[in-house]
Each structure stands twice: as structure tokens, then as C-alpha cells.
Structure 1
Amino acid sequence: MKGEFHSPSLEHEFFPGQLDPSRLWFNDFAGGAFALDRLMIIRIVMVLAVTAFFFFAMRKPKLIPHGVQNFAELALDFVRIHIAEEILGKKEGRRFLPIIAAIFFTVLAVNLPTVIPFMNISPSARIGLPLVLAVVAYVVFVYAGIKRYGFGKYFKSSVVIPGLPFFLHFLVVPIEFFSTFVLRPITLTIRLMANMLAGHIILVMLFSATNFFFWQLNGWTLLSAGTIAFGVAFSFFELMVIFLQAYIFALLTAVYIELSLHADEH
């Protein structure tokens, strides 16, 4: 077999500062302030797609849902019952359902391009989007605590463990502060980014190996059948990871809100 093997590269997708300006959209508008690369375009497309889906499904809601409305309500009920109300209870679950559902469906939608042909990349694999989502979750759970207790009592309840000997507070308070107000958004960000980046790299390696064995390595063409089979199998596994990452991100957001709402029970 004759052909050309193209070695994979992550440089242009994950290090946009290295990208040729000519490959950016809107680079000449407002001095490049609104320049978009392929990954950012995919983010926008997927967010608009999930927004359009729910708008279309709920544009004329019926008492007995069917078709697209039925599917949309099943999806929302999953988030409501198994995440929001499971962690926060019915009252607080319904109160915070909009933000929890928005986070769940945003993460789910922007991760799907990992396995969509001609996209083949997760926008969550670059740190910007996971960081924004983590900041949103951070603001919501801090707001929930301050709204219930006031700033001073919420802050004190979050970092001071009652009943400890006085001298131990000098050790425990900084640890609790770091864990609650610093580590939570960091772990939310890194968990999502690292999982999606790792999955993307594995898929790139498997399908690049298929390309290499099929076109380049004489005598090893049949090996490409094995690598492409592994690639397809891992694509289905990645679908499960995509769902799990959306579920875990939304679940942890609900857990952090619950901890803030009951900070006085620390």
C-alpha cells in the first residue's frame, strides 16, 4: 500500500498562542480581541446546539409529552431526581436545578465532539472552559452559603471546626480554608480537563497508529485492523466517560452547595 502518513500534533489545538493567525476566524476584527480558533468554534456550536434542542423541545410544551419534548423531559428529570434532589432535597434541589442542569448539559454537549467525525476533539481538553464552569460552581456554592448565613458566619462555619483544642485551630483553619475555597474549583477544573485530554490523546494515538500501519509500514498493514478495532472500542468507552464527567461535575456542584447550606453542621 502506498500513501502518506501524517504524524499527529496537539500543538495547534491546545496551545493557541502557537497558532498561525491566518488560521483564526475574526482575527482582523477589533485587533483580534474576538479571534476564534477551531476548538472555540466547536464550543460555540455545541452550546448553541444544546440550547436549540431544549428551545425546540419546549417551545410548545404539552401536558402529555411525546417525541422530542418527552426525551428532553426525561433528560431534565434525570438531573433533577438523581443529582439535584438526591443531594439537596426537593426544595433546594428545585431551587438550584437550573444551574446544575445547565452545568450538566454544557459539559455533556461540549465533550461529545471527542467522538463526532470531523470534530474529533473535546473543547474541555483545554483548560479555559473547565475553569469557567468551575468558577460558576464556585460562585454558586459560596453564594448559597452567604445567602443563608451571612458572610461572617458562613466563612467561620466553613473553616472552624467546633470542639477542637484552641492551638489546633492554627493548623486546621488554613487546611479547611484551602480545601473549601481553593482546592474545590481547582479539582473540578483539572479533573474534567485531564480526563478529556487523556481520552483525546489515546484516540489520536490509536487512529494515528492505524494510519501509520496501513500506509507506511510495509508488511504490517494487517496490524491496522487491530488498532482501528481498539480505536472504535475506545470511542464507545469514551462515550461513557463523557457522560460520567458531566454527571460527576454536576454532582460535585450539588454536593458543594449542600455543604454550604449546612456549613453550621461542620
Structure 2
Amino acid sequence: MTLSNLATILNLAASGDEGGFHPPSINEFFPAPIFEIGSIEFHRIHLVQIVAAAVLIILFLLAARRAKLVPGRGQNVAEMALDFVRVNIAEEILGHNARKYLPMLTTMFFAILAFNITGIIPFLNIAGTSKSSLPIVIALWTFLVYLSSGVKRFGVGGYLKNQLFPPGIPKFLYILITPIEMLQVFLFRPMTLALRLTANMVAGHLLLVLCFTATNFFLFHPSLGMKLLSPVGLTAGLAFTLFEILVAALQAYVFTLLSAVYISMAIEEEH
């Protein structure tokens, strides 16, 4: 964490000018491309996503290859993490159907966590999920799985009946309820999954950049009074870094949990 904060400050100090304070903007998420091939652009955030995915794959390959009957410290950590998803998300929500969807939910949880946590990794300093494209892809994965699972179990007609015509309410209310349910099933669920994840990662990154930009500005300001404010900005940056770690894990959990809930709603008789 200290290396991450130092790298951020040094980067800001090297790239900023002495003319004044420049707060972060949405342009943070649209940097100049590293290289271009025709109309295809490769940006820094793509590099961050590749690094996060590669590290995640390597860690799990190492844990799998070194698995022993009597687990060591590293294997214990890996098994505890896997059991967290299996017990607290898959089995808790899906019950006897958990095993079928466990690979998807496990992959989803750790992938989102890895992409989120890059926001505080030294020299990466931006979450791989802070641009909407990746959260949208993962949300569409959830959408396609719960839609196909419901159709496979009940057929197209049965699935639409279960989802769009909730039992236990007066039939005349369907004229109001059914359009709302249709929007919820086919639009709001995947859209809110993607937007929630993106918004949290964008907000976290902007807060960190704001704190460390302010630290840099106060530190190099000619006024002594302004210099004395530099530790305040640094303290706030450290606090928000810890908070960002919590948000990264929490958003991975919420996204995966809601995905399991939506699948459960699709394959159950009533919801």
C-alpha cells in the first residue's frame, strides 16, 4: 500500500505543473492509447486487466499444482477463499443446485476481486473494472446464464409465466406488474450489476487521485501554511486506500451474490 501511494505521488509530481491544483476528471479513464493497430487501440487499462488476469491464473495454478493432503499455509488460504464462495454464496443461495453453478460463481468472484484490487496496486493504480466494458461483459454472462437456465427448466412459456406473472396477486394488477417485471428481468438486473460495479470503482479511483493530487499540491506549494496541509491529504489518501480494499472485496461479493440470486429466481417455481 505504501509503494502504491508513493508511486501515485511521484507520478503526479512528475506529470503535474506548478501552476495550480488540477483535480481529477473523467479523463483519468480515457488515457492516450499505448499503441494502435488500425482502428484497434490498446490502452493502459487493457494492460492492467491482462496483468490482473495473468496473476490470478498463475496463483491458482500454483495452488492446484502444490495441493497436498495436509495443506500448507498457501493451500489453506486458497481453500478458505474457495470455501467462502461455495458455502456463503453458492450453497447459501442455490442450495442443491449450487454445484452446477459453482465454477461460474467462483470464477466471477475472484476475477472481479482481482480486477478491482488493481486500483491500489503499485504502478497500476486503476481498477480493471473502472470502465464499463468489462462489468457489462460479466453482467451479460449472468444475464445469459439465468435466462438460459430458466428456459431450460420451464421452457420459454413457463419461464416467462414464472417471471412476468408473479403468483398470489390479483390478475387485474398484471397490467402494471408485468411491464415492470419485464424491464427488471431483461434490463434492470444486468444493467444495475454493471453500473454498480463501475460506479464504485470510478468513485474510489477519483477519491484516491484527489487525495494524492492534493498531497502533491500542498507539499510543493511555496506557502508554509499550505505545506502543513500535505499530511492531511496523505492521511486521507491512506484511509481511502484501506477503504478501497474493502470496497473491492465487497463489490466482488455483492456482484456474485446477486448473480446467484438471479439464477435462483430463474430456476425456482416462485420468486
TM-score (norm 1): 0.89
- SS of corresponding position for 2:65: coil
> Would the aligned equivalents of 1:13 and 1:38 in 2 still touch at CA under 8 Å?
no
Q: Distance in 1 between matches of 2:30 and 2:67?
A: 44
Alpha-carbon spacing, 1:217–1:254, altered in 2? closer, same or farther (3 Å): farther
What letter corresponds to residue 7 of structure 1 in structure 2? H
Equivalent position of 2:30 in the other structure: 15
Q: Which of 108, 117, 122 is residue 103 of structure 1 equivalent to?
A: 108
One-letter identity of the residue aligned with 1:118: F
Specify which of 135, 141, 147 is matched with residue 136 of structure 1: 141
For 1:66, the equivalent position in structure 2 comes to 72
Q: Is the 8 A contact 2:119 2:125 kept in 1?
A: yes
Task: Report deviation, 1:155.
Answer: 1.3
Closer, same or farther in 2 for the Cα pair 1:208/1:227, shift >3 Å?
Answer: same
- Equivalent residues of 2:113, 2:248 under 8 A apart: yes
Give the equivalent residue in structure 1 for 2:218: 213
SS at match of 1:58: helix
- The code of the aligned residue for 2:127 comes to S
TM superposition shift of 1:64: 2.2
**Aligned counterpart in structure 2 of residue 24 of structure 1, from 24, 31, 34:** 34
Deviation at 1:45, TM superposition (A): 0.8
Partner of 1:93: 98
> CA–CA distance in 2 between the matches of 1:52 and 1:36?
23
Is 2:265 the counterpart of 1:259? yes
Deviations 1:171-207 (A, max 9, x none): 1110111112210001101100001111111111100
1:122 is the counterpart of 2:90? no
Aligned residues: 254
- AA partner of residue 70 (structure 1): N
Aligned to 1:161: 166
The separation in 1 between residues aligned to 2:263 and 2:134, in whole angstroms, is 21
Tell me which residue corresponds to 1:244.
Answer: 250
Stretch moving more, 66-75 or 237-246? 66-75
Report if aligned partners of 1:145, 1:261 keep a CA contact under 8 Å in 2. Answer: yes
Q: Which amino acid aligns with 1:61?
A: A
SS of the aligned residue for 2:70 comes to coil
| Residues 80 and 97 in structure 1, CA contact (< 8 A), matched pair in contact too | yes
* Structure 2 residue ranges without an equivalent (≥5): 1-12
Q: Which amino acid aligns with 2:29?
A: F
Identical-residue share of aligned pairs (%): 43
Name 2:5's counterpart in structure 1.
none
Q: Do the aligned partners of residues 11 and 202 (structure 1) sit closer, same or farther apart at CA in structure 2, a change above 3 Å counting?
A: closer
Q: Does 124-133 or 154-163 show the bigger shift?
A: 154-163
Find the aligned partners of 2:174 and 2:259 in 1 and give their Cα distance.
27
Residue-by-residue CA offset, 1:82-135 (whole Å, 9 max, x unaligned): 11111111x311211100011100110001111112111112111111111101
CA RMSD of aligned residues (A): 1.9
Distance 2:71 2:25 in 1: 44
> Conserved in 1, the CA contact under 8 Å of 2:166 and 2:270?
no
Q: Supply the distance in 2 between the matched residues of 1:57 and 1:204 (Cα, whole angstroms).
A: 34
Bigger Cα displacement from structure 2, 248-257 vs 163-172: 163-172
Match of 1:201 in 2: 206
Cα distance in 1, alignment partners of residues 176 and 223 from structure 2: 64
- 1:144 CA displacement: 1.7
For 1:50 and 1:117, the matched residues in 2 are separated by: 17
